[in-house]
Amino acid sequence: MAGQAKEPLSIFGAGWVGLVTGSCFAELGHEVVVRDVVPEKIERLRAGELPFFEPGLAELVERNAERLTFTLDAAEAAHASELLFVCVDTPPTYSGDADLSRVWTVIDELPQLDRRGILVMKSTVPVGTGEKVRAALEGRGLSHIGYVSNPEFLAEGHAVDDFMRPDRVVVGAFAEADGDHVSALYSEMDAPTVRADVASAEMIKLAANAFLATRISFINEIANVCEVTGADVEKVAEGVGLDHRLGPHFLRAGVGFGGSCFPKDTNALKQLASNSGYHFQLLSAVIEVNELQKRRVINKLQKYLGRLREKRIALLGLAFKANTDDMREAPSVVLASRLLAEGADVRAYDPVARPGELLRGVSVCESVLEAVRGADAAVIVTDWDEFRSLASSEVRDAMRRPLIIDGRNLLDPEAARAAGFDYEGIGRASSPLAALPETDEPSSVDVPSEAMGQTGSAENAEHFSRE
Per CB under 6 A, residues contacting ligand UDX are: 152-156, 209, 212, 216, 250-252, 254, 257-259, 261-262, 320-321
Question: Considering only CA atoms, which of 235, 397, 404 is closest in space to residue 317?
Answer: 404
E strand map for 243-318: 312-316
Quick check: is 261 catalytic? yes
Q: Least distance to ligand UDX from the beta carbon of 346, Å? A: 20
Nearest to 86 by CA among 11, 145, 173: 11
Q: If you write DSSP's letter for every residue of 392-419 in order, what string do you get?
A: -HHHHHHSSS-EEEETT--S-HHHHHHT
Which residue number places its CB atom closest to ligand UDX? 261
Separation CA 129–CA 202 (nearest Å): 8
Rounded CA-CA distance 21/65 in Å is 14
Please state the closest distance from residue 230 (CB atom) to ligand UDX, in A: 22
Residue 219 neighbours by CB under 8 Å, 6+ apart: 233, 237, 250, 251, 252, 253
* Cβ contact 255:407 at 8 Å: yes
Q: What is the C-alpha to C-alpha distance for residues 262 and 258, in angstroms, rounded to an integer?
A: 7
Q: Which is nearer to ligand UDX, 126 or 146 (CB)?
A: 126
Catalytic residue among 24, 226, 261, 365: 261
Classify residue 240 as exposed, middle or buried by CB count within 10 Å of its CB (0-12, 13-18, 19+). Answer: middle
In the complex, the smallest distance separating the C-beta of residue 330 from ligand UDX, rounded to whole angstroms, is 7
Neighbours of 464 (CB within 10 A): 18
| Residues assigned a catalytic role | 261
